[in-house]
Chain A
C-alpha cells in the first residue's frame, strides 16, 4: 500500500472533522478497503477509522419496534444479537465470509461500499430499512444507486440502519464458488402491508427489488405464487461463474427457496 495518514477518532464529531480534509477516506472493518490498498488500487491521503466510535456500535430495539443496528456493528455481533428479533437478518450476517471477516466487517462498511454481490444490501432493500447517517435519514429505496454507488455524500457516515421487523423472512444465497459472495442472493420479507423481495449478486445495476414477485407473493405468500416466474436475463451480470441466463434462473430458484424457508 501507499503511505497515508491515519486517524482513529472516538466520537462521531471528531470523525466528521477528520473526514473533512482532502482525500480522506473512512475505514469501517476494512474487508474491502484494506485489500484494495494492499493492491495499491486506492491512494487516500488519510484513513479515518470508525472503529473506536462506540456510539455507532451495537444492536437495539427502537420505539417503533424496528431493529436498530449501529453502522459500526460487526457481522458477528449482528449474527449474535439480532437472532431473537430478526432471525433472517442474523442468519444472513452469520454467513458472510468467514469468522475473521465477520469479526472485522461492519454493516455500515458493507452498504457504503455496495458491492453488487454483497449480502446486506438485499436485506436492507427487502426490509425497507432506513439508512441513518450523521446528516440525514435515507430510505432504502432511495439509497442504492447501482454497483458501488449509493446516495451517500463525500464524508457522510452511516451511523445506523433501522430494520422494520417482518412477520416472516428468509435470505437464500447461492454462493459464487471462489469468493463465496452471492452469485445470487434473495431476501424475502413479509410485512403486514405486503412482501418485499431484494436481490443481490445478479444485476448489473446492483441490488434490486423484484417487483413482479413481490406482487405475486403479496397476494399469496407461497412458493406456488412464484412457481415458474422468472426474471429476464437482460441486465443480469455474466462472468466466469455464471451467465446472465443462469443468474436470472437462480433468482427464481432462490426466491422460491426463501419463501419456503421464511419463518
Chain B
C-alpha cells in the first residue's frame, strides 16, 4: 500500500530540490569532457551591415588558438531550420530566409555571430576573437515594424521581396461578417496597445558541449534544452546531416527555460560541428551579457483591437490587427506564436460570434523572437481583457458583470477561431475568485488607501489557454513541421522498482516528483520505488519535450498508457501464478488478487516472475516487464481562470505597488497541488514582471538599451505580494486519461491584464481619465499619463 501522501492529489515535496538546493545538480556547465577546448563567438556590434572583410590571420596566431571559423566554413552546411510554415491570407507560404550558423555576407542584429574561435581556454578564445579584423559596411537598421513594411524600406534579407514574413488572416472567411457586425454594433470599443518585447533570462544561461568519438563516429551534444529529441532531429537532419543513430543529445538538469530553450540555436550546431572538425570536445558557456543578444526574445506585438457590442452589451464581434516582430531570422517556432497560439485564443472565455484576427509578421534588425512562457496566449488575453475593461468603463457597467454576461456556458463550445473547448465552468471559477479575493470588501480597502494618500485600483481578468500541445494531425494542417505527441517507456525492474523514461523534459516543473505520483497511484506502491529519466536521447523514446503546458497532459498521458500496458501484462502473469482467469485478477495497493477468493500475489512477486520466468507462461507471453507508449492528444486542453489584482498607486511618484493578488484557476484534475501552487506563483511573478518592470528596448540604430540587469528590470521578491491561489474549481479534461489540463503558463497569461486593469482603475478613482498605459507600467509612465 503506498504511503497516503504520495499518490495523485498529494502535495509531496519535490524530491529534486534536495540536489538542486545542495549543489548536487548536474547542469550542462558542470559537464567537462576530457580534452575539451573552448569557443568564443565574435558577435556583431552593429544591427545591420554588409561584411566586407573577416580576417582571422592574426587571431590564428594567438596563444592557445586551435582554429578560427567564419561563415565560409559553413557554406556547405544547412542553415537553422524553422519548424513551422504559416500560410498567408492569400494561400501563399510565408517568406522564409536562410539562417546561417555563422553570418554570411551580412549581419542582421546586434549579437549575430560572425566568427568563432576555438582555443585551449575560454580567455584565450576571447583574446583571439578580439584580434579578428572585421570590416562592416553599415546599413540602415530596420527597427520599427510599421516603417519596415513601407514601400522602399531597407530589407533585412536582400533575397526576400520585403520585410513581411506573412500577412495572416484568421479566419479569412469570417472577415466580411466581422466587418458587418462592427458596422452594425451599438457600441465599439477600440484600443491600441503594445505587448512589449521581453528577455527570458532563465537563471542558467545557455551552454553547449560538442563531443565527437572518432572511434565510433558518434556525436554527442550536451545542451541546455527543453527538448533534446527535437534538437537532435532538427540539427541532425537539417543542419549537419548527421543521422539520429550517430547523434546523441543530452539535456541534463536545466535551470529554467521559459520557452527560450525550446529552440535550436547556432551555438549548438557550431559546437557539434567544430568538435569533429578540430577533433576535440568543444564547449561554449554563454555569459549573461551574451544571453541578452543571442537568446530568442519574447512577445513584441503591436495591436489594434476592436470589440463590438449590441445594445444589451452582448459581444458581437472582435477584430484585431497585429504587427508581430520576428526579429532578424525565423527562430524554430516563431511563426506559430502570433498565429496558431494567438489567433485561436482570441475568443477568450466569451461567446463572441464573429472574430477576425489579422497578423503581419515582420523582419527587423533585432534578436529573433519566439515562444516565451504563454507564447501568443498572453498576447491574446492581454488585448482582449484590456479592451473588455475599457468597454465596461465606457458603458458604465460592472466589469465582472460584463464578463459574466458574455461567458461561454455550454460545452463543448466551438469558437469562431477554429478550436473547441471541451469543458469549463467560467462562472464557477469566477465565484471562487470573488470570494477568495473578498471583492465585496474592496471599497473599504480603497477608502483606507485614500486616507493614506494612495489611489487604490481593482483589476479583473479572465483567461483561457490552449495547452497540452498538440494534436499532431491538426497542427500538421496548420503548418507544423513536427508531430506533437509524447512518449514514455515504463521499465519495471525484477524486484518491482520502476524507471519511467519520458520524452518530457523537466527544467523546473518537478516531473521527478509528479510523474511517480501517477504511477504510485495506478499500481499502489510507494512513489519512491519509481524514478524518472529524461533529457537523454540515448535512453528515452523519441519525444517532443516540454513547453506549452504539455508535460502532464501529453507526457503524463503517454506514461499512463505505457503503465496500463505494463499492468495488463502483469495481470496475465499474476493470473498464471494464481492459476486464475486473467479477467478475474484485480490490482489494488500493490497486490494482485482474484475476485471472490483469498488468493493474492504481491507486485514484487509478479515482477520477479517476469524476469525469472521459471513458473511462467512462456508459450503465451514474453518475459520481462517493459512497455512503451506514444500518446497523441485528440484536442488541446483548455485551462481557464479568473484573476483579481489590487494595486496602490502613489500619485506623487506614479509608483505602483501590488497589494493583493488572487488567482482562481481551473486546471482540471491536479496531481500535486503544492507544485501547482508553485507554478502559478512563478507565472504570476513573471506576469507582474512584464506588467510593471521588464522591457527590452532597441534604439533606432538597433542597439539594445536594456542589455543588462542594470537596465532590464527583473521582478524581485519585494515587487510581488503574497498570492492567494485556488484551484478547487475543477472541470476535468474530457479527452486525456488523467483529466488534467496543464498549469505552467497560466499565471504569466492571466496576470498582466489584471495588473494593468487595476492601475487604470486606480487612476480613474483619482480623477485621471487615462484609457491605457503600455507595459511596463513603470512609475515614469504612470506619472506621465497622470500629467499628460
Contacts and interface: CB of A to CB of B under 8 A. Distances in A.
Interface of A: 39-40, 174, 177-179, 183, 239-243, 246, 249-250, 253
A178 B780 contact: no
B279 to A, nearest CB: 29
Which one of A39, A177, A240, A253 has the greatest number of beta carbons of chain B within 10 Å? A177
A207 to B, nearest CB: 19
B653 A174 contact: yes
A241 B713 CA distance: 10
Contacts of B710: 178-179
B784 A178 contact: no
Contacts of A249: 783
A246 B780 contact: yes
A179 B709 contact: yes
Contacts of A239: 705
Contact of A179 (B126, B130, B711): B711
A41 to B, nearest CB: 11
Nearest to B709: A178
B655 to A, nearest CB: 8
Contacts of B705: 239-240
Contacts of A177: 692-693, 713, 776, 778-779
Contacts of A178: 693, 706, 709-714
Contacts of A243: 780, 784
B289 A39 contact: yes
Contacts of A40: 126, 130
Nearest to A184: B653
Interface string B671-704: 0000000000000000000001101010000000
A149 B79 CA distance: 49
Contacts of A183: 779
Contacts of B706: 178, 240
- Closest 6 pairs between A and B when the two form their complex, measured CB to CB: A178-B713, A177-B713, A242-B780, A179-B710, A253-B652, A246-B780
Given A178-B712, A240-B711, A246-B784, 17 more contacts: A39-B289, A40-B130, A177-B693, A177-B776, A177-B778, A177-B779, A178-B713, A178-B714, A179-B709, A179-B711, A240-B695, A240-B706, A242-B779, A243-B780, A246-B779, A246-B783, A253-B653
Nearest to A178: B713
B289 A240 contact: no
A70 B350 CA distance: 66
Nearest to B714: A178
A174 B784 CA distance: 16
Contacts of A250: 653
Contacts of B778: 177, 241
Nearest to A174: B653
Interface in B568-622: none
29 contacts: A39-B289, A40-B126, A174-B653, A174-B655, A174-B779, A177-B693, A177-B776, A177-B778, A177-B779, A178-B693, A178-B709, A178-B710, A178-B711, A179-B709, A179-B710, A179-B711, A239-B705, A240-B695, A240-B697, A240-B705, A240-B706, A241-B711, A241-B778, A241-B780, A242-B780, A243-B780, A246-B784, A249-B783, A253-B652
A246 B785 CA distance: 11
Interface residues of B, number: 25
A243 B778 CA distance: 12
Q: Which of A174, A178, A179, A242 has the most CB of B within 10 A?
A: A178
A178 B716 CA distance: 10
B540 to A, nearest CB: 38
A81 B784 CA distance: 41
Contacts of B692: 177
B302 to A, nearest CB: 19
- Between B697, B709, B778, B780, the greatest number of chain A beta carbons within 10 A of the residue's beta carbon is seen for B780
Nearest to B650: A253
Contacts, number: 46
A174, A183, A240, A242 — most chain B CB neighbours (10 Å): A240
A40 B127 CA distance: 10
Interface of B: 126, 130, 289, 652-655, 692-693, 695, 697, 705-706, 709-714, 776, 778-780, 783-784
Contacts of A39: 289
A43 to B, nearest CB: 11
Contacts of B711: 178-179, 240-241
Contacts of A179: 709-711
A154 B322 CA distance: 56
Nearest to B693: A177
A255 B130 CA distance: 47
Contacts of B289: 39
A4 to B, nearest CB: 13
A212 B101 CA distance: 60
Nearest to A249: B783
Contacts of B655: 174
B659 to A, nearest CB: 18
A193 B714 CA distance: 44
Contacts of B776: 177
Contacts of A174: 653, 655, 779
Contacts of B712: 178
Contacts of A253: 652-653
Contacts of B693: 177-178
A250 B693 CA distance: 19
A234 B249 CA distance: 58
Contacts of B654: 246
Nearest to B699: A240
Contacts of B130: 40
A40 B655 CA distance: 36
A220 B692 CA distance: 38
A246 B652 CA distance: 11
Nearest to A180: B716
A249 B655 CA distance: 13
B693 to A, nearest CB: 5
Nearest to A3: B123
A241 B710 CA distance: 11
A253 B652 CA distance: 7
Contacts of B126: 40
Nearest to A252: B652
B703 to A, nearest CB: 12
B42 to A, nearest CB: 13
B436 to A, nearest CB: 29
A246 B782 CA distance: 10
A39 B708 CA distance: 11
A185 to B, nearest CB: 13
A223 B714 CA distance: 34
Nearest to B783: A246
A41 B149 CA distance: 38
A39 B709 CA distance: 14
A34 B695 CA distance: 26
Nearest to B715: A177
A183 to B, nearest CB: 8
A190 to B, nearest CB: 22
A162 B763 CA distance: 46
Instruction: Tell me which of B130, B289, B713, B784 has the highest count of chain A C-beta atoms within 10 A of its own C-beta.
Output: B713
Contacts of A240: 695, 697, 705-706, 711
A173 B706 CA distance: 22
Nearest to B289: A39
A161 B783 CA distance: 37
B19 to A, nearest CB: 24
A190 B779 CA distance: 30
A174 B778 CA distance: 12
B545 to A, nearest CB: 32
A178 B711 CA distance: 5
A242 B692 CA distance: 14
A240 B126 CA distance: 31
Contacts of B652: 253
B588 to A, nearest CB: 54
A136 B137 CA distance: 52
B64 to A, nearest CB: 13
A183 B783 CA distance: 14
Contacts of B713: 177-178
